[in-house]
Structure 1
Amino acid sequence: MPRLAGQQPEYLQSQLQAFSERRRVNPVMFNVAHVLKPGMLTALAESFQNLNPKPLGGEPRELIPAGKKIFEEGVTATNVPACASCHGEDAKGQGAMPRLAGQLYEYTTRKLVNWSKERGQDPAKPDSSQVMEPIAKGLTPQQISEVAAYLGSLE
């Protein structure tokens, strides 16, 4: 389960809509999202932004330096751009770009490993986050662990 504290409201709204429209696949989230009215959706997303996103810890500390390098520079050998180029130098995101700072290590690792499996497969309703699929596939399991550890350590 992701940490939603401090998350960008626009991002949360778009993801809840994606669950509701089955552009993201998760039966539990579909059941929650499809009953939310627009006003409820907005209020919910804004309330999460105001929660304290302080890191909870638990990430392998020894992986943080390598993860910081990937976040800031990317991986040129596999054409993976710097995460900071979209998510911001501080990993706090902006607008529809999600906050990654303080995200749980296990959650980030699992999401990057399973990126394409958890996205909708309906070509008529493409997932707006499909830009991440080649990026996730361009990272090795070790690199995914490293960047997840770095993100989990950020405030």
Structure 2
Amino acid sequence: MSKEKIVKVRQLTRWQRIGVASLFVMGALVLAGGAFILSGIYNIGASRDHWSITNFIITILRDRSVAVASGGIEVPELDDPDLYQLGEQHFLGTCTTCHGTPGEPLNPLYSHMLPKPPDLTGAFEHYDAREVFWVVNHGLKYTGMPAWPAAHRPDEVWSVVSYLRRLNKIGPENAAIEDSAAEQAQNLNTCARCHEAAGQPPVSDLVPRLDGLSEAYLRRALEEYRGGQRASGIMAPIAFDMSDEEIASNAASYASLPPPAGRQNSNANIALGRQIARQGLPEQDVPACQSCHGVNPAASRLEGQSERYMATQLKLWQHAGHRDASAEGRLMSVIGQRLTEAQGKAVSAYYATQNAEEAQ
């Protein structure tokens, strides 16, 4: 009598059964999701809001992403008139297109965007300064909120953040009064909005004085902003819309103005600044500033310029890749990285005390 072959069936463990069941569930969800996407049932039109569950998921994803990505960002002093006054002018000239003017209704065209551009008077009610900076700097996907148009320009981004913080503190009613006064004072002139004209100082010490700068330099600067060789999220959009004739006209207009007088600063290391300007720093392979500035008409004149503006620009040059597309930009990038921050402040202070008219 032949022996029957006994087949033993191995029983799956509890966790193995859970794993197999999970794979089946996941596969079913993938198939169901694919079928849902291909069916076209979901209305993608901006005329209809997302489902509540979709809004819930997007909001959590957005807020957690911004919170994690913005961690570690160093926040400057935001109660700074130079910062928020510059930010105000950029906000009025650019941001209000979508977000509207504080205290006034939103343009119907933009109010029908999905998501609708938020009222930025409440930006600091939902996010802190780091998070607002990150959003302004990097934008948000699928919302119409663009990234800042220029890399390595945190100074410009912080000016907008500073203004939004002030907007939140004083309220839309008071902000609307300030903005209206600013609009009337500038008479909506694009350049005068920040740079002023006819001997008046700029709206902020972070803005360069253009009075009496050479026409060749001003024309080159605007052309480089327009072509993307110079990085500025404030200037690039303005210059992009300017024709060759408008660039030439604005350059000639500012070049015809009398140059500014210097401003004294008793707290600065003027002696060190004078040495860098006239002799350079041979041990650091830094040439004298006046070997180009004041000699080459295509280089900017520094006498009488804002100390804070020059020091900020030198600090920006220390970041690799900042405005290095032009020959002049590549040169200044190298020099900026060879200067310490203290040396940059000293030479900026020296030039700010000099009378431009006497230097000509």
TM-score, normalising length: structure 2: 0.39
The answer to whether the 8 A contact 2:265-2:353 is kept is yes
Matched, 1:80 2:282: no
CA shift, 1:56, in A, is 5.2
Q: Which of residues 276, 286, 290 is equivalent to 1:70? A: 276
Q: CA RMSD in A?
A: 1.9
CA offsets 1:119-143 (integer angstroms, 9 cap, x no match): 346xxxx223211111111111111
Matched, 1:10 2:209: no
CA offsets 1:6-35 (integer angstroms, 9 cap, x no match): 111111111111111111111221111011
Q: Which of residues 315, 327, 332 is equivalent to 1:128? A: 327
**Matches of 1:78 and 1:29 in 2, distance apart?**
32
**Matches of 1:131 and 1:99 in 2, distance apart?**
16
Matched, 1:30 2:30: no
Q: Which has the higher contact order (CA 8 A, sep 6+)?
A: 1
Q: Percent identity?
A: 29
What is the match of residue 99 of structure 1? 301
CA offsets 1:38-85 (integer angstroms, 9 cap, x no match): 111111101111222223526455422221111000001110001111
Q: What is the DSSP-based 3-state SS (H/G/I as helix, E as strand, rest coil) of the residue aligned with 1:146?
A: helix
| CA 59–32 in structure 1, closer or farther in 2 if over 3 Å, else same | farther
Q: Residue type matched to 1:78 in 2?
A: Q
**Matches of 1:28 and 1:143 in 2, distance apart?**
27
Give structure 1 stretches of 5+ with no counterpart: none
The answer to whether the 8 A contact 1:105-1:149 is kept is yes
| CA 59–49 in structure 1, closer or farther in 2 if over 3 Å, else same | farther
Give structure 2 stretches of 5+ with no counterpart: 1-206, 356-360
**Matches of 1:7 and 1:51 in 2, distance apart?**
8
What is the match of residue 50 of structure 1? 256
Q: Which of residues 86, 105, 113 is equivalent to 2:315? A: 113
CA shift, 1:95, in A, is 2.1
Q: Residue type matched to 1:11 in 2?
A: Y
Matched, 1:148 2:148: no
Q: What is the DSSP-based 3-state SS (H/G/I as helix, E as strand, rest coil) of the residue aligned with 1:19?
A: helix
Q: How many residues were matched structurally? A: 147
**Matches of 2:345 and 2:289 in 1, distance apart?**
14
| CA 142–38 in structure 1, closer or farther in 2 if over 3 Å, else same | same
TM-score, normalising length: structure 1: 0.85
The answer to whether the 8 A contact 2:262-2:303 is kept is no
The answer to whether the 8 A contact 1:8-1:94 is kept is no
**Matches of 2:262 and 2:249 in 1, distance apart?**
25
User: In terms of Rg, which structure is larger?
Assistant: 2
Q: Which of residues 222, 226, 231 is equivalent to 1:20? A: 226
The answer to whether the 8 A contact 1:119-1:127 is kept is no
The answer to whether the 8 A contact 1:58-1:105 is kept is no
**Matches of 2:264 and 2:277 in 1, distance apart?**
19
